[in-house]
Amino acid sequence: MQARMALKNIDAAVESFQRALELEPNDGGIKRELAAAKKKVTDRRNLERKAFSKMFETSGSSEKSDEVLAASSEKSDEDKN
């Protein structure tokens, strides 16, 4: 489990720690490692969100973004009808 974290396979490490916790629900070490692994997953997702948000930023003003969102919403509403 710790080897997976060291190899940056955090998702698999979380799954392994969860299974281990089912077998040993009172093991404080497993609980700490699971919490640390979950934090790494959360941190990674936050970094990914930040990176992707920059990819989709427009160079125009926020008004232009609002117009695009409104047009998209209208199109979506039309598709539903």
Per residue in 6-53, pLDDT (tens digit) is: 556 888 889 999 999 999 999 999 999 999 999 999 999 999 888 888
How many domains does the chain fold into?
1
Pairwise CA distance, residues 23 & 35, whole Å: 17
Enclosing domain of residue 46: 2-80
pTM: 0.56
d(CA 6, CA 71): 46
Closest to 30 (Cα-Cα) out of 66, 72, 1: 1
Quick one: tokens of 70?
């409104």
One-letter-per-residue 3-state SS of 27-49: CHHHHHHHHHHHHHHHHHHHHHH
| Burial tier of 20 (Cβ tally within 10 Å: 0-12, 13-18, 19+) | middle
